Amino acid sequence: MLDGKKVLFSGMQATGNLTLGNYLGALKNWVSLADEYMCFYSVVDEHSITVRQDPAVLRKRSRALLTLYIAAGIDPEKACIYYQSHVSAHAELAWILNCFTYMGEMNRMTQFKDKSAKHADNINVGLFAYPVLMAADILLYQADLVPVGKDQTQHLEITRDIANRFNNIYGNVFTIPEPYIGKAGANIRSLQNPAKKMSKSDENPNASIYLMDDPDTIRRKFRRAVTDSEATICYRPEQPGIMNLIDIYCACTNKTPDEAVAEFSGLGYGQLKEAVGESVVELLAPLQQRCAELSKEKSYIDGIIKNNAEKAGYYANKTLRKVHKKIGFPERIR
Ligand code: TYM
């Protein structure tokens, strides 16, 4: 609890162009949970360098992502929106937690297996230990709740395991976090291959809707979305392409799959695709406009970056001091 509220932590990487999956699986829920919790929303730039980045591009994208959090409707005066690299406690706690994490556990992480296959020329230790840094992010703020998409479930489980292990040795140091996986939108699939998740790093631009895509591009990508030859609109795993379109529609309109199926009953796939495309255009247009406006407000954004780095640092260092004490590091002399 912080200031009488439960704590929420989540983060996103500024690598590649953000997709509709990031928005519907995470950001949308961040906005709706922001009033109820004391929230920390980080631009996790330290995670980004597990894959080679162009420094200028990373800096630009990180700023755009921080702006996007605000554009999405998170109030930066209430929620703490900040860059991970501005709070050194993240890296410090990650080192300590590395010493409480087993190689075997990390070896089982499916995202590491996927990413190392993709970046075979750069399988670095950071990529391997990535979930430990993520655990440090969450545990530093004593988070009760972590809203994420389904692809992060395994990372949340390992975070809980590490926290429990630490607590079993040293007493109650960390709050054990719960994942929050939204009902709709937690698992948005590629428009070109519904067996895969929609991903920033997909090589086929038609597979993903990027948050900054213009309306015509969005409509065109939906028109081209891969479906099936059943020619009937049902919500069932045997029709993963249609299921994905309905998921997107429901997440955009706050309808249930049953309502959506009833609405489209007797219509063709073309009409479904048009309607889903329109619901996404309507959802993203105000977000894009607000991003464009905010990107001009340099000093306002700078102020938020400065103040929130201090605020996040304050809470993070409180936990870090506690951890140092528990594990036997000598006290600082002031
Ligand atoms: P990242 O940057 O890959 O994704 C950010 C968020 O978007 C969700 N997401 C999706 N949700 C539904 N459908 C999809 N196709 C889809 N693609 C992405 C992700 O689940 C995530 O919630 N490791 C994290 C960032 C991170 C983090 C943390 C998250 C670092 N530290 C601490 C929570 C708590 C990541 O790479 O997310």
- Burial of 120-132, coded b for 16+ CB within 10 Å and e otherwise, reads eeeeeebbbbbbb
**What is the layout of strands, in order, in the sheet containing 178-180?**
80-83, 38-43, 7-12, 145-147, 178-180
Residue 274 burial (10 A CB sphere; 0-12, 13-18, 19+): middle
* Torsion, CA 60, CA 64, CA 65, CA 66, rounded to 10: 100
Give this prediction's pTM. Answer: 0.96
Tens digit of each residue's pLDDT (9 = 90 or more) over 32-81 = 999 999 999 999 999 999 999 999 999 999 999 999 999 999 999 999 99
What is the rounded average pLDDT of the residues 293-314? Answer: 97
* Torsion, CA 193, CA 194, CA 195, CA 197, rounded to 10: 100
* Per-residue model confidence (pLDDT) at position 334: 86
Cross-strand bridge partners of residue 19: 210
For ligand 1, whether the C-beta of 198 sits within 6 Å is yes
Distance CA 310, CA 324 (A): 20
Tens digit of each residue's pLDDT (9 = 90 or more) over 150-175 = 999 999 999 999 999 999 999 999 99
* Per-residue model confidence (pLDDT) at position 273: 98
Between the CA of 251 and the centroid of ligand 1 the distance, in Å, is: 17
For ligand 1, whether the C-beta of 40 sits within 6 Å is no
Assess whether pLDDT exceeds 90 at residue 118. no
pLDDT-derived band at 303 (thresholds 50, 70, 90) equals: very high
How many H-runs (helices) and E-runs (strands) does the chain carry? 14, 5
Q: Contact at 8 Å (CB) between 30 and 22?
A: no
* Per-residue model confidence (pLDDT) at position 3: 80
Helix (H, G, I), strand (E, B) or coil at 126: helix
Assess whether pLDDT exceeds 90 at residue 285. yes
Tens digit of each residue's pLDDT (9 = 90 or more) over 252-267 = 999 999 999 999 999 9
Assess whether pLDDT exceeds 90 at residue 96. yes
Between the CA of 51 and the centroid of ligand 1 the distance, in Å, is: 15
Triad 62, 66, 72: Cα angle to 5°: 135
Distance CA 301, CA 113 (A): 37
* Per-residue model confidence (pLDDT) at position 16: 82
Assess whether pLDDT exceeds 90 at residue 98. yes
For ligand 1, whether the C-beta of 29 sits within 6 Å is no
Distance CA 310, CA 320 (A): 15
Helix (H, G, I), strand (E, B) or coil at 203: coil
Residue 207 DSSP symbol: G
Tell me which residue has its CA closest to atom 35 in ligand 1. 12
pLDDT-derived band at 183 (thresholds 50, 70, 90) equals: confident
Reference 50, options 125, 153, 136, 131; nearest CA is 125
Assess whether pLDDT exceeds 90 at residue 231. yes
What is the rounded average pLDDT of the residues 16-27? Answer: 94
* Per-residue model confidence (pLDDT) at position 263: 97
Q: Which residues are tagged catalytic?
A: 115, 197, 200
Residue 152 DSSP symbol: G
* Per-residue model confidence (pLDDT) at position 19: 97
Mutate-to-test residue for ligand 1 from 151, 162, 181, 210, highest number of ligand atoms within 8 A of CB: 151
* Per-residue model confidence (pLDDT) at position 210: 97
* Per-residue model confidence (pLDDT) at position 184: 85
For ligand 1, whether the C-beta of 134 sits within 6 Å is yes
